[in-house]
Amino acid sequence: MADKDYAYYPGCSLEGTGSAYDASIRLVMQALGVEVKEPHDWSCCGSTPAHAVDHLLAGALAARNLVLVQKMGLKGVSAPCPSCFSALKTAHYRMAKSKAFKDEVNELLDVPYEGTVDVRSTLQFIYENIGVEEVARPVKLALPNMKVAPYYGCILNRPPEIAQFDDPENPVSMDNLISAVGVEVVDYAFKMECCGAAFGVPRKDMVNKLTHKVLSMAIEAGANCIAVACPLCQQNLDLRQAQVNAAMGSSFNIPVLYFSQIMGLTYGFTPKELGIDKGVVDPGNLIETGPIVPKEVEKPKKTKAAAKEAS
Amino acid sequence: MPELAGKELRIVGFLCNWCSYGGADTAGVGRFKQPTDLRIIRVPCSGRIDPLFVVKALINGADGVLVSGCHPRDCHYSDGNYYARRRLEMLKQFLPFMGIDGKRFHYTWVSASEGQRWQKVVTDFTRQVHGIGPLHEKKEAAK
Amino acid sequence: MKVGVFICHCGNNIAGTVDVARVAEETRKIPGVAYAINYMYTCSEPGQDQIKDAIKKYDLDRIVVAACSPRMHELTFRRTVEKAGLNRYYFEMANIREHCSWIGEDRELNTNKAMEAVRAAVAKVMQDKPLYSSSFAVNKRVLVIGGGVAGMQAALDCADGGHEVVLVEKSPSVGGMMARLDKTFPTIDCSICILGPKMVDVAQHDLIKLYAYSEVEEVKGYVGNYQIKIRKKATYVDWTKCTGCGECMEKCPSKDAYDSFNFGVAPTKAINIPFPQAIPKKAKIDPTYCRQFTKGKCGVCAKICPTKAINYEMEDEIVTEEVGAIVVASGYGLLDIEKMGEYGGGRYPDVITAIQYERLLNASGPTSGHIVRPSDHEEPKTVVFVSCCGSRDKSIGVPYCSNFCCMYIAKQAILTKDHMPDSQSYVFYMDIRSPGKGYDEFTRRAQEEYGTKYIRGRVSRIFPKGKKMVVRGADTLLGTTVEIEADLVVLANAVTAAPGAPQLAEKLHISYDTNAFYVESHPKLRPVETNTSGVFLAGCAQGPKDIPASVGQGSAAAAKVLSMLSKDFLENDPAIAQVNQNACVGCLKCVKTCPFQAIVEEELRGGKVVAKVIQTVCAGCGVCTSTCPCGAIQLQHFTDNQLLAEVNALCLS
Amino acid sequence: MRVINLSTTSDASFIEQVKKESGQDPAECYQCGNCTAGCPYTEFFDYPVSMIMRLIQAGQKDTVLNSKAIWLCATCETCTTRCPCEVDVAHVMDTLRNIAYREGRYTEKDIKTFYEAFLTSLKNNGRIYELGILMGYKAKTLHLLADADLGPNVLVKRLIHFQPNKIEGRDEVQRIFKRFAEKRDNEKRDNQKRDHHG
Ligand SMILES: Cc1cc2nc3c(=O)[nH]c(=O)nc-3n(C[C@H](O)[C@H](O)[C@H](O)COP(=O)(O)OP(=O)(O)OC[C@H]3O[C@@H](n4cnc5c(N)ncnc54)[C@H](O)[C@@H]3O)c2cc1C
Ligand SMILES: Cc1cc2nc3c(=O)[nH]c(=O)nc-3n(C[C@H](O)[C@H](O)[C@H](O)COP(=O)(O)OP(=O)(O)OC[C@H]3O[C@@H](n4cnc5c(N)ncnc54)[C@H](O)[C@@H]3O)c2cc1C
Ligand code: SF4
Ligand code: SF4
Ligand code: SF4
Ligand code: SF4
Ligand code: SF4
Ligand code: SF4
Ligand code: SF4
Ligand code: SF4
């Protein structure tokens, strides 16, 4: 079993629009008996705007936080937001790959980054470092009404050289986690098709079209709820759902929960504790819990990567 | 004039006929440019290479020695390259006791089709030897 | 000692970056060199005559040619000096082309390097000893590995030439991939109709001994005298009794066995005959599905079989065959489409491979030639073909073109229209590669006559939408993305080396390239020979190629075998190990290390034990020479003195 | 359609620059179109991404750097994940945007303004202050009513803080920005010098 002693880098969105994600992760970690260690005085990872403007600046803004983890003496850090994850991991990857880049980045920092920190998304951390078996243990309640379409977004496991997690074309980690806590998932083809990312503010027209596609594919597959692992995805799919409806003439009304909120519900936390009331589309009776009815345990789906390892 | 003073160092390569010599040919056919320092001696199999040859070369004037044979399991003579590997690994451990930097000696595997790999092997090893500099100062000075 | 040195220009190949005149001039200063000259094309007839004349005129006794790789022309020049009366081992080559003029950019450095190469060659040639080959008898039987169309052609041609042939086929029937095809391009004739008679010929030829469902276990010996161990895998059916009546197959209750002949298009029975035209037409039990093996009870087939052929206790059997030459025709494999995650390969039933589609098209296939979608068995209206699926794709490790898929896609599109006139086919392609005779006309017909729509661009994703499969690709000529809602998607998945190709190569001591295809001696001039004398190649084992080219190579390999076997004796290479019995202390270390067991101990009259090399067995690797603590066993032509002479020439000056 | 004179307009130094800064060799692209087919933004791009690759190969610097596409790319990594030639296409797009930004070419002004608002907030506070970004962005673009419909939901549900969350190490972050600006300025000066002498 991999190391559970990782730092936790919440990132800016989880202080703002994604606060419910943060709250639910902390509760889930508590139920799983894993201590959340936040690096003191972390700063913004730089996200899309930094690397859009300059790679070097982006590298330095991310690396400052890796240095904090390095100071904590921990092996790695997990980040719930894919954007942070990608920024941190890309900085780490590029610095490992090119000494010149590493030197340039370190020139901008007060304390140089040594290149020792293992960066994972919090989803990966829960899936690999804690594992599905452990995750199933605290389950107290069932969510019988829920049929979840897990939505991974684009950069949680891409590009594979950098993310090094799950299958880049057909990820299954979130599916397996949600199944592990006894909730039904549906398979559909748009699990990692882009929702419009950070263009919500400057280019709403694009987000509307792309989000519309994702929502309709999930609903067509029979889902009545979407699970996400990203505050930006949550914003585009949930907060902007009304905008999408208006622009595209649709009438979607599908709640969008963080996977950690779904896990938290089965662990017996209340919707309020988990911040589910902060979502715009009301999940209504979907979050009604019931007693656990034992059913045949499904084998976790295998990813290509996992299958390769096994062979 | 074995190597062009100031421009080259003296590197001797022992290559097995079936794989690496062919690989070097393939690199040539593909016009994969390489540094010119290396001089190649053809042997039937890397198993034919006596560590003594390597030592003699280094003592007599070479600044580096490169040995290349078939990939393990792909030896034209079944397992000649296994013998080679064992002997050459021992040699590598032994060189420092003679006061020779172990980095002056390198052994590797290149197949007849791997022209590009050969180019890289030659380029990297030549660079490595240049990084250490000449082994035989006296002669350099005499020139 | 009078050494003559000939420095070749190779047109501009060498002279372009090496100052050959200067090399000749410097060479004349080397002690022992009596004559040195540069010449335009040394291997040409006048070039060779020049060597012969110089030997006579200047009384030369050793020759060095500084030119291309010895792997190219050593043999040519050895013959030349021999014709002029010298021993053929009084000859050396300095490689100043592949290892010098072609890879260095600096003329001065190249010229210097060429002079060094000449110096080493001169040092070596002055140490050379005359060597004489002895001859040995040749076993005139032939082993052919792989019973696809290439292997069958080679076997038939060798047998027609009067030699006994042992044909070893891994699967239960000969025929290979071609036996699975429906029609063949560019003439659209029925594959099994042209292949079937060949298969029957193989079965009926007096001189062909077929081992089906067998594999080569071990190869020992050398050209002219191989001992082959063959593993006959257990079929659990006594083939001497089985008549191929098929009753067992009819009654077998285990119905879900994987049908490797049909690539899993439909299941088969645990006991089965792979296809109606199979040769040999015999039944075989697949123990992973047979209830007798998995559950310990059933025995239906044993009860039903009229000839009592079933034998659940059967075990693998090893047989030995002796042959003089080997043809390897082990064919190819196909890329596992699960590697193409973005195409949903293996996840969506209506995304299939081209070879599965051949089985759907085939009248004797599992659907009797009706094209149906695997998901709901409905007839598709829109069929999309995806070419280069995994081919020319560095990212999944197949950088090469699979050679024949462009052509079979055109064929399958034409056949689709023939089967279902109201259907529409689309082909996503990057380039249409159709350089054979009548081939381009064929792909044009697919478009002009059969209305197939060709779209220039790769497919990025395939995903389900309702009952349809959405194929999203680029049309780079339109400059945008296009989507097609298809009923069935056919992937032209990449051709790979046959499963187990590297392991077989290792047994045969032949080389394979990074993609595990076998390497020929020379890509242009010796396309069916390997660097291991006595072993020849044919068909896709050497690289992807279509049927005409595979058959052509089968015949070419047979011609090579026949020309070799036309001699009763072969000459050995005298560059083998030799023991100096005076120096040998009888430690027998060499005996232990020789990979070919070519060294035995011998007791001399005085009772002294020494090592002795069996000439015909020694392969000339020289492992013994570098093992012997006394320098007593020396590999001829590569002795310690000879190699050290080269080392010293390069290092001591 | 415009006729491109390749003899006079192909800018080799631009190809080199992209190659150097991105670490990717544009020549490795064989124009299969996979990236374009997978890109979720093709319908919004003026030049589909494979054509951007082609334009780089042809050295068409101005067309590339003035394109909208390089600003509309969301770095979703689809192209990179699927390119059969293992070109990190998303990184090439990113690099082009970097170069365009440095050269002051912003074809999609709103996106550039949004990015700058974001980075300003980062620089001032060490973390992102979402409301601040939004206000900064609106002030600059004058899209005052954009997303106003979201307002009630966002505010009622308290998704956005009203106070910027400032961190202690603000000055450290500011030093990163400062050293970065100095470095780029120096480079610019060196380049100009070289151009003068060269
Ligand atoms: C979908 C599809 C359609 C095609 N259509 C056409 C067409 O229309 N026209 C055309 O010209 N070509 C076509 N081809 C190509 C054609 O299949 C090949 O050119 C041909 O089969 C090559 O013959 P082969 O004998 O070299 O190899 P194979 O047919 O692969 O035969 C090799 C044989 O060796 C056996 N073998 C493998 N390993 C061992 C081992 N270790 N020991 C013993 N036996 C072994 C195998 O079982 C097999 O029987 C098509 C291919 C595909 C995939
Ligand atoms: C510009 C060019 C570049 C090429 N480059 C390459 C390359 O890089 N690699 C490659 O593999 N291939 C290359 N080729 C192809 C190559 O030339 C042919 O594959 C090859 O020459 C074919 O050999 P052949 O013996 O069949 O025919 P030929 O070379 O044409 O030989 C036929 C011979 O028969 C003689 N002849 C003709 N009629 C009669 C008659 N009635 N009686 C007696 N003799 C007759 C001719 O005089 C001639 O000598 C190239 C071709 C061209 C045009
Ligand atoms: S001998 Fe070799 S180098 Fe000389 S002309 Fe012939 S092929 Fe060329
Ligand atoms: S095993 Fe028996 S029943 Fe089966 S095919 Fe052979 S003879 Fe017929
Ligand atoms: S014993 Fe096996 S093969 Fe025979 S009938 Fe039963 S299941 Fe089929
Ligand atoms: S033959 Fe055609 S389809 Fe097959 S790999 Fe080559 S170009 Fe692609
Ligand atoms: S190793 Fe040398 S000394 Fe020992 S037996 Fe062999 S030849 Fe004789
Ligand atoms: S050279 Fe020596 S080791 Fe090699 S095969 Fe001959 S006897 Fe054996
Ligand atoms: S996917 Fe790669 S090779 Fe294909 S067009 Fe795009 S960049 Fe070029
Ligand atoms: S990274 Fe950019 S160019 Fe590539 S697919 Fe995504 S949006 Fe398109």
CATH of the domain at C216: 3.50.50.60
Task: State residue D124's pLDDT score.
Answer: 86
Cα of C492 to nearest chain A Cα, Å: 20
- Domain shared by C505 and C473, yes or no: no
Q: How far apart are CA C618 and CA C574, in angstroms?
A: 10
Do the domain assignments include residue C33? Answer: yes
Q: How far apart are CA C432 and CA C426, in angstroms?
A: 14
A180-204 b/e (C-beta count within 10 Å ≥ 16 → b): bbbbbbbbbbbbbbbbbbbbbbbbb
- Domain shared by C424 and C484, yes or no: yes
How large a percentage of chain A has pLDDT more than 70? 93
Condensed to tens digits (0 to 9), the pLDDT of residues A194-213 reads 888 778 777 888 889 999 99
ipTM above 0.90, yes or no: no
Condensed to tens digits (0 to 9), the pLDDT of residues C555-608 reads 999 999 999 999 999 988 899 999 999 999 999 999 999 988 889 999 998 889
Q: How far apart are CA B2 and CA B12, in angstroms?
A: 11
- Domain shared by C119 and C189, yes or no: no
Nearest residue to A255 (alpha-carbon basis) of A292, A228, A230, A231: A228
Q: How far apart are CA C457 and CA C479, in angstroms?
A: 10
- D120 burial via Cβ count (<10 Å: 0-12, 13-18, 19+): middle
Residues 6+ positions from B139 with CB-CB distance below 8 Å = B61
Q: What is the DSSP letter of B18?
A: T
Is residue A25 within 8 A of residue A122, CB to CB? The reply is: yes
Is residue A121 within 8 A of residue A165, CB to CB? The reply is: yes
Q: Across residues C313-323, what is the average pLDDT?
A: 98
C74: contact with D, CB 8 A cutoff: no
Domain boundary among C496, C516, C535: C496
Neighbours of chain D (3+ CB pairs under 8 A): A, C
Is the CB of D39 inside a 6 Å radius of any atom of ligand 9?
A: no
* Residue bearing the bigger pLDDT, A216 or D169: A216
Contact D130 A55 (CB under 8 A): no
Q: Across residues C36-48, what is the average pLDDT?
A: 96
Which of B 83-142 lie inside 8 A of C, CB atoms?
A: 83, 87, 111-114, 119
* Residue bearing the bigger pLDDT, A290 or A266: A266
Least confident of A156-170, C179-193, C358-372, D146-160: D146-160
- Domain shared by C397 and C386, yes or no: yes
Average pLDDT score over chain A: 90
Cα of B121 to nearest chain C Cα, Å: 14
Q: Is the pLDDT of residue C60 over 90?
A: yes
Alpha helices, DSSP H only, in C541-630? 547-565, 589-593, 623-627
Q: From the list C394, C459, C482, which residue is nearest D86 (CB)? A: C394
Cα of B81 to nearest chain C Cα, Å: 9
Is the CB of C345 inside a 6 Å radius of any atom of ligand 1?
A: no
Is the CB of C185 inside a 6 Å radius of any atom of ligand 1?
A: yes
Is residue A65 within 8 A of residue A43, CB to CB? The reply is: yes
Domain boundary among C473, C496, C519: C496
Q: Across residues A59-77, what is the average pLDDT?
A: 95
- Measured in degrees and rounded to the nearest 5, phi and psi for residue C182 equal -85, -80
Domain boundary among C127, C161, C187: C127
Give CB contacts under 8 A, 24+ apart, made by D103-108: D103/D65, D105/D65, D105/D66, D106/D71, D107/D66, D107/D67, D107/D68, D107/D70, D107/D71, D108/A202, D108/A203, D108/D68, D108/D71, D108/D72
C614: contact with B, CB 8 A cutoff: no
From the alpha carbon of C302, which atom of ligand 5 is closest?
4
Q: Residues in chain B with pLDDT < 70?
A: 1-2, 78, 137-143
Contact C347 A167 (CB under 8 A): no
Is the CB of C270 inside a 6 Å radius of any atom of ligand 5?
A: yes
Task: State residue A202's pLDDT score.
Answer: 76
Q: Across residues C441-463, what is the average pLDDT?
A: 97
- Rg for chain D (alpha carbons), in Å? 20
Condensed to tens digits (0 to 9), the pLDDT of residues D97-130 reads 999 999 999 888 888 888 888 888 888 888 887 7
Task: State residue D188's pLDDT score.
Answer: 84
Domains by residue range for chain A, with CATH: 6-125 (1.20.1050.140), 134-287 (3.40.50.11810)
Q: How confident is the model at residue A310 (pLDDT cuts 50, 70, 90)?
A: very low
Please name every residue paired with C458 in a beta bridge, in sequence order, or none if there are none.
none
Q: Across residues C512-520, what is the average pLDDT?
A: 91
Q: From the list C341, C464, C465, which residue is nearest A304 (CB)? A: C341
Contact C71 B25 (CB under 8 A): yes
Contact C513 B32 (CB under 8 A): no
Do the domain assignments include residue C602? Answer: yes
- Domain shared by C457 and C352, yes or no: yes
Task: Report how many domains make up chain C.
Answer: 4
| Ligand sitting nearest the alpha carbon of C474 | 9
| Pocket residues: Cβ below 6 A from ligand 3 | C 8, 10, 13-14, 41-43, 67-68, 72-73, 97
Residues of C in contact with A190 (CB under 8 A): 463
Residues 6+ positions from C160 with CB-CB distance below 8 Å = none
Is residue C487 within 8 A of residue C382, CB to CB? The reply is: yes
Q: What is the CATH number of the domain that holds C622?
A: 3.30.70.20
Is the CB of C587 inside a 6 Å radius of any atom of ligand 7?
A: yes
Task: Provide the residue ranges of all domains of chain D, joining segments of one domain with +.
Answer: 8-102, 109-197
Do the domain assignments include residue C199? Answer: yes
Condensed to tens digits (0 to 9), the pLDDT of residues C628-652 reads 999 999 999 999 999 999 999 999 8
Q: How far apart are CA C260 and CA C607, in angstroms?
A: 62
B2-141: CATH topology: Rossmann fold (3.40.50)
Instruction: Look up the domain containing C441 and give its range.
Output: 333-496
Q: How far is the CA of D113 from the centre of ligand 10 (A)?
A: 20
Condensed to tens digits (0 to 9), the pLDDT of residues C6-23 reads 999 999 999 999 999 999
Q: Is the pLDDT of residue A298 over 60?
A: no
Task: State residue A311's pLDDT score.
Answer: 42
Condensed to tens digits (0 to 9), the pLDDT of residues A252-286 reads 999 999 999 999 999 999 999 999 998 899 999 99
Q: From the list D21, D76, D146, which residue is nearest A154 (CB)? A: D76
- Domain shared by C478 and C502, yes or no: no
Q: Is the pLDDT of residue D197 over 70?
A: no
Q: Is the pLDDT of residue A307 over 80?
A: no
From the alpha carbon of C358, which atom of ligand 1 is closest?
1
Q: How far is the CA of A13 from the centre of ligand 1 (A)?
A: 57
Cα end-to-end span (Å), chain B = 10
A169: contact with C, CB 8 A cutoff: yes
C347: contact with A, CB 8 A cutoff: yes
B65-95 b/e (C-beta count within 10 Å ≥ 16 → b): bbbbbbbeebbbbbbbbbbbbebbeebbeeb
Q: From the list C342, C464, C466, which residue is nearest A169 (CB)? A: C342
Condensed to tens digits (0 to 9), the pLDDT of residues D31-55 reads 999 999 999 999 999 999 999 999 9
Average pLDDT score over chain C: 95
- A289 burial via Cβ count (<10 Å: 0-12, 13-18, 19+): middle
Q: Is the pLDDT of residue C367 over 60?
A: yes
Least confident of A90-104, C137-151, C231-245, D99-113: D99-113
Task: State residue D150's pLDDT score.
Answer: 67
* Residue bearing the bigger pLDDT, C578 or A47: C578
- Domain shared by C607 and C631, yes or no: yes
- Domain shared by C363 and C442, yes or no: yes
